[in-house]
Structure formats: C-alpha cells, structure tokens
Amino acid sequence: MYKHLLKLRYGYQPSIKFTHVHDSTQYTPVKMTVREAINLAMDEELAHDSNVFLLGEEVGQFQGAYKVSKGLFQKYGGDRVIDTPITEAGFTGIAVGSALYGLKPIVEFMTWNFAMQAIDHIINSAAKARYMSAGDQKASIVFRGINGATAYVAAQHSQCFASWYSNVPGLVVLAPFDCDDAKSLLKAAVRNPNPVVFLENEILYSETFELSAEARDPNYLAPIGKAKIMRQGDHLTIIAFSKMVQYSLRAAEQLFREGINCEVINLRSLRPLDRETILKSVKKTGRVVCVEEGWPQSGISAEITALIMEGGAFKYLDAPVQRVTGVEIPTPYAFNLEAMAFPKTEQIVDAILNVLKGAR
C-alpha cells in the first residue's frame, strides 16, 4: 500500500533499471537519463571526498522516492547515505550545522514544496552565515530536489521556486536541463563553498540525452554563472531554463522550417545570472522571448527584462520583450486545466511570431 501511494503521489517507479556503471573510469555510456546523470554525479562526489554525504527521506534503503539515489546506500553505507524522518526542518537544520562544521551535505527534498518547512534554515542560516561571520563561517551545502510542475499533484506540490531563492544574496541557484547540466553542475555545486539550491525537474528525470565527452570526465565541473547557447540564431533570442528549454528548442526547430532562425539560451545558473551571454545575444538579434513555468510577477523573466533595460541593450531592441510564463493561479488538479496552466511549444511559437510582427 505504501509503494502504491508513493506511485500515485510521487511517481515512484520500482522497475527503473540504470544503464550506467558507477565506476566511470571503466565505462560511461554516451546516453543516459537525467536521473542517471544526477546519480552519477553524487556517486563521483561521494567517492571523491569523504566529507560529502547525502541525507533525506528515503534516500537510502528505499533508493530514493524517484530512484535518483539508487545504489548509493549499498555502496557507501548508512553513515553517508542517511535516511531521515519526515521532518524537513529537522534534517535541514542538521545538514546546515554539519556544513558550518566543515562537512559537505547534499540535502534531498522529495519536492521543493516540502522545503518550505525548512526555508528558515536555508535562508537565515545557510545563506547568511558567511556574511554575518565576516567570512569566517562557510556553508558548503547542496539543497536539491524536484521543482516546478509535475503531473496530477495539484497546487501544493506543483510550483516553481526559482524566483524565490534567486532573490536571496548568499545562495547559488542552479536549474539543469539535460544530462550535461545535471552531472557537471551538481558536481560543481558540491564543491562550491557556498550553499547551492539545485532545482531539478521530475518530468525531465526520465528524458534521455547524450552525455558529452567533456561531461563524462569525472574531473569536469561546469562553470557556475555561465549560460549555454543551445542553438545559434540571429532573428530572435529565446531565454529559458530547466524544462522550458526543451519546449523552446522545439519551437525554434518548428520556426526554422519557416525560415525563422532563433537563438536559444539555457540559463542553467539563475543566481548568478550570466549577464554577458544574455546581453550579447540580445544585441545580436534585437528581439527577445523569455520563457519560464513560474508565475510572471517578480519572476526570472521579469529580472531578465530589467537586465536588458538597465544593462545597455535596450537601444538594440527592435520590439518589446515578451514573456511566456505560467498562469497566475495555483496549479489545478484537473488534467485539462493543469495543461492550460503552463507554457507549451505552441505558446512560445505564438509569442515569437508576435514579437517578429511588432519589430521595427
């Protein structure tokens, strides 16, 4: 019954079989799922540094609610892969204290919605400790879990926290898209001396991508604060992160067949933002569509729009910036309404065409 409830609520999939071998020096496949890439990153970092440990609800013997930590408990034992009670405030406080002591915890939240029980520890303790101690206390800690819309889990389990945490000085906020992002950004997060909020996406967990030779290197760390241009173009810039990168790439491919060449930027790092890459692309194309599944007010797209206005790119615009965001309502439970609440490829295509029509 317990597993059945998890399947209904969290997407538990007991039949998942991983294709990668944990010892990446022997063999790493060219393709893997995002779930496997995150698992491999944690495996490599647990092996690299004995101060690294993973804790959270069901991360150990149950292999993780989403099977992201599959095999790690068996390999590293219960002292480094720690199952906790259902108390986000409790185990997050323990993790922050251990980070201030010099350890490097990876805290898994089943969903970032549950992390609201622990937000005081994340913001008032982890994010502010270095500043309030004049640099004496460092909290090298990763908070990770699923963020944004999933499916059939309604308002309290399905929202985007990207703008919440990217508003806080002292935090690093990362949002991976593909396997390269998931593996190399998570490894960089674990080795970063600051607290890192790592926003994963449940729907992307089962997506398969090619893992580049660069990312397969156990020593490679993606640069934090650096966006990635997924597709070159000169007619319009699409700026997105996480799941919305996939929809943006589909929109760009569809419009390319009609002679419209869009540049697609995968932000990857939300705090710090890659101001240079954004502004350079805007100055090149002169047109911008920002895409996020979060709510529009005070969102990431709003911040990017302000950056364009204040960063010297306004005079290069041939049309106003247009945002494609989630609808400003709590996420509906009904599937047909839920589908209407978040951006899809068709909406991005419509926004691009509107911007091109309004260009000078």
Rounded Cα distance, 42 and 106, in Å: 9
Catalytic residue among 88, 108, 292, 303: 88
Known catalytic residue at 88: yes
Rounded Cα distance, 209 and 115, in Å: 28
- Which tokens belong to 14? 């007991």
Cβ 138 vs Cβ 195: under 8 Å: no
- Which tokens belong to 331? 């996420």
Catalytic residue among 44, 58, 108, 157: 157
Best CA proximity match to 209, nearest among 238, 249, 258, 161: 249
Best CA proximity match to 13, nearest among 62, 77, 74: 62
User: Cβ of 93: how many Cβ atoms within 10 Å?
Assistant: 16
Best CA proximity match to 181, nearest among 126, 119, 223: 223
Known catalytic residue at 293: no
Rounded Cα distance, 211 and 29, in Å: 8
The catalytic residues are: 88, 157
